[in-house]
Amino acid sequence: MTTQDEVRKLAIDLEDKNAQEVVKWAISTYGSKVAISTSLQADSMVIIDMAIRIDKNVKVFTIDTGRLPQQTYDLIDKVRERYGIRISVYFPDSEEISQMVSKHGSNPFYRSVSLRLLCCSVRKVNPINHALEMEGIDVWMTGLRRTQVETRAQTPKLQIDSSHPGLTKINPLADWSYDQVWEYINSNDVPYNHLYDEGYTSIGCAPCTRPTESGESDRAGRWWWEKGIPKECGIHVGPAWGRTI
């Protein structure tokens, strides 16, 4: 699969398939060339559970930003034990962290959007770029859903990854609602981050995530102090992200 036209045609075909069928298709088509990217949120836990039922050796990787909540670390270990799988954990570059913290302090993200984007770039975006290279894959699967936030409203189930040339992204839960995610988790006894029990509806780094109120969007608790800025860290937006803000 190399051209935009081929991807578009496949995306149309996949639109009619349910999430399990999309995960199965991805694994049977790409084998060791596909990996699941997870931040251990509920959405990607569903994908991990579906994938493990098809292939126990499916690749799974995550980014440890160094600022995750303890509950997320607990869940990483729980998932390893529960499914008996390896989760590859990638870290930010220590020199980049040292330079950023030495210059801007430990919590620069509260001071300006540009410093928040710098931190997300150093702690998340650069490590995931490195992870995608190291995994040796052609395709990555994510838990992106259209109803998470406006910037994801057009998410297809299959897309060329404009930020990572040569890679394709598969989003099996693109058309799922938040409630569907939890129906699956509860019906299948899937392990989840216990911060959800405390009112969180999306979970990222500890200093940048709070619980949400009724009626708020799933990602309203992410960088809650920012106004009018998309609730994105930069991983799932195009290469121009950050330069236009």
* Active site residues per annotation: 233
**Alpha-carbon distance 181 to 19, whole Å?**
11
Part of the chain binding ligand SF4 (CB under 6 A), chosen from 30-38, 45-53, 119-127, 212-220: 119-127
Nearest distance from residue 160's CB to ligand SF4, in Å? 25
By the 8 A CB rule, do 158 and 173 touch? Answer: no
Part of the chain binding ligand SF4 (CB under 6 A), chosen from 79-87, 113-121, 137-145, 237-245: 113-121
Nearest distance from residue 91's CB to ligand SF4, in Å? 12
124 binds ligand SF4 (CB under 6 A): yes
By the 8 A CB rule, do 228 and 242 touch? Answer: no
Among 25, 30, 83, 109, binds ligand SF4 (CB under 6 A): 109
Burial class (CB in 10 A: 0-12, 13-18, 19+), 89: middle
List own/partner pairs for 183-188 with CB under 8 A and 24 or more apart: 184/46, 184/49, 185/42, 185/45, 185/46, 188/49
119 binds ligand SF4 (CB under 6 A): yes
Among 24, 67, 157, 236, binds ligand SF4 (CB under 6 A): 67
116 binds ligand SF4 (CB under 6 A): yes
Residue (of 15, 4, 2) closest to 171 by Cα position: 15
- Quick one: three-class SS letters along 193-219? CHHHHHCCCCCCCHHHECCCCCCCCCC
**Alpha-carbon distance 207 to 199, whole Å?**
16
233 binds ligand SF4 (CB under 6 A): yes
Nearest distance from residue 125's CB to ligand SF4, in Å? 9
Binding flags for ligand SF4, 174-213, as an x/- string (CB under 6 A): ------------------------------xx-xx-----
Structural element, H or E, at residue 28: helix 19-30
Contacts of 192 (CB under 8 A, 6+ apart): 42, 45, 75, 185
Part of the chain binding ligand SF4 (CB under 6 A), chosen from 96-104, 114-122, 144-152, 162-170: 114-122
Output the residue with the shortest Cβ distance to ligand SF4: 205
Count of positions on this chain that bind ligand SF4 (CB under 6 A): 13
**Alpha-carbon distance 99 to 112, whole Å?**
18
Angle at 127 between CA 120 and CA 57, to 5 degrees: 130
**Whose Cβ is closer to ligand SF4: residue 128's or residue 233's?**
233
Among 51, 52, 120, 181, binds ligand SF4 (CB under 6 A): 120
Q: Which residues bind ligand SF4 (CB under 6 A)?
A: 65, 67, 109, 116, 119-120, 123-124, 204-205, 207-208, 233
